[in-house]
Amino acid sequence: MNRSNTCTKVTVRQAKLKNGMISLYLDFYPAIRNPKTMKMTRREFLGIYIYANPKNQTEDGFNKDMLMKAEGIRCIRVQSLINEQFGFLDKTKQKVDFLAYFKEKGRTKQQKWDMVYKHFFKYVNGKCTFGEVTIELCRGFREYLLNAHQLKHTRLMLSQNSAASYYSIFKELLYMAYREKWLNENINDYLEKIETVDVRKETLTLDELKKLNQTPCKIPVLKQAALFSCLTGLRVSDILRLNWDNIRIGSDGGYVIQYRIKKTGAEDTLPISEETLEFCGERSTGKVFKGLRYSIVGYNLKEWLEAAGIDKHITFHCLRHTFASLQVSMGSPIYTVSKMLGHKNVTTTQIYADLNDANKRKASELISLK
């Protein structure tokens, strides 16, 4: 096919408005793909307006000036299309702020995207255009993540698994930019991922959980929220945001929690038992666990565990792991546990089955020669 036959023609068009003005827009033929929506389109409205019937010399001059600006934009679009058509670098795109693009893409993503953005912002000292996004820069960011400190707890290093997760998100961003033609090649072809390492997830046994339930805690709301997490698998971020409006009667007559998962933004419905509901206290309005804050969790949870005689390094997130581990060990189908945890992929939940010592013990005794 002759490439000259596929070049898009760009024309400045006019659309009359009811208020006596004319809106200027570009007409593309054939249609082009909008880099933001990824849909084919023939129109780009410029946000430029002229008088439909200029009444004096000033308005007539204004119209001529705006038409010249529209023509200038048309020429830039033609140059960009030709450069893309024949594989040339588009200088106008090279000057676009990559950090602004990164931040905009992260708005609709999970919270972790914001953490990756902040690390990359720090890595490039707050300045980076698309023209500066090279293989060398991206490889350098990989090394940065492998040796970076956490942003919140600056004395602690970023774990390798966190670095792997962050770099995976960054590579996803690079592919988006390539697909939307902000980058002229898929840089991921030249980048190595960061490998994850197996980390044992610390959990409580059922006996330890019962012992914890019987042990007083100096902060009652912390005890309520912690045990609630063990019985539901909810993250602390979702427990902190939980309102009484989220707890209602489900279609089967039992209680459910209907909420939006903070980490992923997905809507979820989680059935809960009446025993679990008791840890919420007397029904009222607003927040369920009033007075619960991130700042009171760490030290006070550790102190409560020590009072119960539990010698394990347990964070609040370990209580979510406890829920998953106990469900799997008691025979709940892995798919059901996955749904209750709000996992998108059952392979994420599979690790609890892999790490479950009780199931391994049962399996080890299945084959006998006696």
Q: Over 70: is that where the pLDDT of 37 sits? A: no
Residue 368 pLDDT grade (very low, low, confident, very high; cuts 50, 70, 90): low
| pTM of the predicted model over 0.75 | no
Give the whole-angstrom CA distance, residue 355 versus residue 347. Answer: 13
* Of 237, 297, 228, 294, residue with least CA distance to 263: 237
Token pair for 134: 């090279």
Comparison of pLDDT for 200 and 170, the residue scoring more: 170
Q: Which residues contact 99 (CB under 8 A, 6 or more apart)?
A: 117, 120, 121, 124, 126, 127, 128
* Of 229, 225, 235, 237, residue with least CA distance to 204: 229
- Summarize pLDDT for 41-68 with one digit per residue, the tens: 899 999 999 999 999 999 999 999 999 9
By mean pLDDT, which of 64-68, 110-114, 314-318 is the weakest? 110-114
Query: What is the structure's pLDDT at 90?
Result: 59
Residue 89 pLDDT grade (very low, low, confident, very high; cuts 50, 70, 90): low
